[in-house]
Amino acid sequence: METSHILRTENLTKSFGSGAATVRAVNDVSLNVGEGEIIVIMGPSGSGKTTLLSMMGGLMRPTSGAVFIRDVDISGMSESELPGIRARHIGFIFQAFNLLEALTVEENVLLPAQLAPGGVKGARERTAQLLAKLDLTARRNAYPRTLSGGEKQRVAIARALINRAPLVLADEPTGNLDSQKGTEVSMILHDVARDEGCSVVIVSHDPRVEDIADRVLWLEDGRIRDRRSEDHSWVRDPVCGMRVDEWTAVNRFEHENRRYVFCSRRCLERFEESPEIYVSAEAATRGARGS
Amino acid sequence: MIQRWAIKTLLRSRLRTLGSALAVGAAFALVIMFRAVWEGETEQLAVYLERAGADVWVMQAHVSNMHMASSFIAEGKRNEVARVPGVQSLAGILYLNTMVEAGDRQWFSYVVGLDEAGQMGGPWSVPQGRSHVGPGEAVIPETLALLTETEVGDEIQIADHRFTVVGLSAETFSATNPVTFVYAADLADLLSLTGYDSYILVRSEPDVSPGLLAGRIREEVDGVEALPTPEFVENDLQLARQMGTEVIALMTMLCAALATLLVGFSLFIHTSHNRRELVILKTLGFSNRHVYGTVLSHAVVLTGVALAFAVSAVEVLAIVGPRLAPILSLSITARALLEIGVAGFAVALAATLMLARRVARVDPMSAFNS
Contact B5 A102 (CB under 8 A): yes
Please judge whether B5 and A98 are an interchain contact, meaning their C-beta atoms are less than 8 angstroms apart. no
What are the tens digits of pLDDT across the range B13-36?
A: 888 888 888 888 888 888 888 777
CA neighbours within 13 Å on the CB side: how many for B362? 28
Dist. CA B340–CA A54, nearest whole Å: 47
Which chain A residue lies closest to B364 (C-alpha atoms)?
A59
Q: Compute CA distances A64 → A55, A58, A61, A184, B80, whole Å.
A: 11, 14, 9, 38, 100
pLDDT band, residue B215 (cuts 50/70/90): very high
Residue of chain B whose Cα is closest to the Cα of A170: B368
Contact B4 A172 (CB under 8 A): no
Q: Which among B1, B9, B369 has the least Cβ separation from residue A110? A: B1
Mean pLDDT computed over B48-56: 91
CB-based contacts of B364: which residues, under 8 Å, 6+ apart?
A59, A86, B279, B282, B283
Q: Is the Cβ–Cβ distance between A104 and B4 less than 8 Å?
A: no
DSSP code at position A4: P
Instruction: Report pLDDT for B274.
Output: 81
Q: How many angstroms separate the CA of residue A80 from the nearest CA in chain B?
A: 7
In this structure, the number of other CB atoms found within 10 A of the CB of residue B303 comes to 29
- For residues B28 and B182, the answer to whether their CB atoms sit within 8 Å is no
Closest chain A C-alpha to B9 CA, distance in angstroms: 5
Tell me, rounded to whole angstroms, the distance of Cα A248 from its chain centroid: 15
Answer whether A103 sits within 8 Å of B365, measured CB to CB: no
The pLDDT tens digits for A219-272 are: 877 888 755 445 567 777 788 776 677 776 777 888 888 888 887 777 888 889
Please state, in angstroms and rounded to a whole number, the distance separating the CA atoms of residues A113 and A105.
Answer: 14
- Residues of chain A predicted below pLDDT 70: 1-3, 226-232, 242-243, 248, 285-291
Rounded to an integer, what distance in angstroms lies between the CA atom of residue B243 and that of residue B176?
Answer: 13
Cβ contact, residue pair B283, A85, below 8 Å? no
Query: Which 3 state secondary structure label does DSSP give B165?
Result: strand
Average pLDDT, chain B: 86
Partner-chain residue, chosen from B11, B281, B283, that has the shortest CB–CB distance to A59: B283
Nearest CA to A179 out of A98, A268, A83, A99 is that of A268
Region B257-265: mean pLDDT is 80
User: What is the C-alpha separation between B148 and B115, in angstroms, rounded?
Assistant: 27
Q: Which residues 6+ apart lie within 8 Å of B149 measured at CB?
A: B103
Chain B residues in contact with A264 (beta carbon < 8 A): none
- Amino acid identity, position A141: N
Nearest-CA distance A103 → chain B (Å) = 6
pLDDT for res B118: 65
In angstroms, the CA A25 to CA A223 distance is 9
Residue B81 has pLDDT above 60, yes or no: yes
Burial B347-365 (b: 16+ CB within 10 A, else e): bbbbbbebbeeebeebebb
Cα–Cα distance, B67 to B233 (Å, whole number): 10
Mutate: best of A111, A162, A172, partner B, most B CBs <10 A: A111
At residue B267 the predicted structure's pLDDT band, cuts being 50, 70 and 90, is confident
Half-sphere exposure of B251 (CA within 13 A, CB side): 18
Q: Which residues of A touch B (CB under 8 A)?
A: 50, 53-54, 57, 59-60, 79-80, 83-88, 90, 92, 94-96, 98-103, 107, 110-115, 120, 159, 171-172, 175-176
**What local confidence, expressed as pLDDT, does residue A226 receive?**
58
What type of residue is B335? R
How far apart CA B340 and CA B307 sit, in angstroms, is 8
Would you call A177 helix, strand, or coil by DSSP? coil
Radius of gyration of chain B, Cα coordinates, nearest whole angstrom: 29
pLDDT of A291: 46
CB A257 within 8 A of CB A248: no
DSSP count for chain B of H helices, then E strands: 10, 12
User: Which residues from chain A sit within 8 angstroms of residue B12, using beta carbons?
Assistant: 101-102
B365 vs A59: CB contact, 8 Å cut-off? Answer: yes
C-alpha span between A184 and A186 (Å, rounded): 5
Confidence of residue B163 (pLDDT cuts 50, 70, 90): very high
Give the Cα separation of A171 and B283 in Å (integer): 13
pLDDT of residue B198: 93
| Cα–Cα distance measured from residue A81 to residue A89, given in angstroms and rounded to the nearest whole number | 12
- Closest-CA residue of B relative to A79 is B287
Task: Give bridge partners of residue B91 from the DSSP assignment.
Answer: B201
**The whole model's pTM is what?**
0.64
What does the pLDDT read at residue B92? 92
* Closest residue to A102, CB basis, from B12, B284, B369: B12
The confidence score (pLDDT) of residue A285 equals 66
Between helix A149-161 and helix A124-133 the angle, nearest 10°, is 140
Q: Which of B277, B285, B287 lies nearest to residue A112, judging by beta carbons?
A: B285
Q: How far apart are CA B296 and CA B289, in angstroms?
A: 10
Three-state SS letters, B131-152: CCCCCCEEEEEHHHHHHHCCCC
Q: Span B306-314, mean pLDDT?
A: 85
- The answer to whether A215 and A33 have CB atoms below 8 angstroms apart is no
Which range has the worst mean pLDDT, B133-147, B174-188, B234-248?
B234-248
* Residue B289 confidence (pLDDT): 86
Q: Are B248 and B80 in contact (CB under 8 A)?
A: no
- For residues A74 and B170, what is the distance between their CA atoms, to the nearest angstrom? 79
Q: What is the pLDDT of residue A187?
A: 83
Name the residue in chain A with its Cα closest to that of B9.
A102
Size of chain B in residues? 370
The size of the A-B interface in CB pairs under 8 A is: 85
Residues of chain B with Cβ-Cβ distance to A103 below 8 Å are 1, 4-5, 8
pLDDT band, very low/low/confident/very high, at B112 (cuts 50, 70, 90)? very high
Do B370 and A96 lie within an 8 Å CB cutoff? yes
Task: Quickly count: other Cβ atoms within 10 Å of residue A10's Cβ.
Answer: 17
Mean pLDDT along residues B61-78:
88
Q: Whole-number mean pLDDT of chain A?
A: 83
Instruction: Please answer yes or no on whether B2 and A111 come within 8 Å at the CB atom.
Output: yes
Query: Which chain A residue lies closest to B365 (C-alpha atoms)?
Result: A59
> Which of A85-89, A247-251, B56-60, B180-184 bottoms out in mean pLDDT, i.e. has the lowest?
A247-251
Distances (CA, A) of A15 to A11, A24, A56: 13, 4, 15
For residues B275-299, average pLDDT: 86
Question: Does pLDDT of B182 surpass 90?
Answer: yes
Q: Is the pLDDT of residue B256 over 80?
A: no
Chain B residues whose C-beta sits inside 8 Å of any chain A C-beta: 1-2, 4-5, 8-9, 11-12, 276-277, 280-288, 364-365, 367-370
Tell me the mean pLDDT in the region B238-262: 78
Q: Which of the two residues, B313 and B181, has the higher pLDDT score?
A: B181
Cβ separation B8–A102 shorter than 8 A:
yes
Tell me the HSE value of B198 on the side-chain side, using a 13 A CA sphere.
26
- The C-alpha of B367 sits at a distance from chain A's nearest C-alpha, in angstroms, of 7
Q: What is the pLDDT of residue A286?
A: 63
Please give the Cα distance from A63 to A75 (Å, whole number): 10
User: Which among A261, A238, A222 has a CA at the least distance from the CA of A51?
Assistant: A222
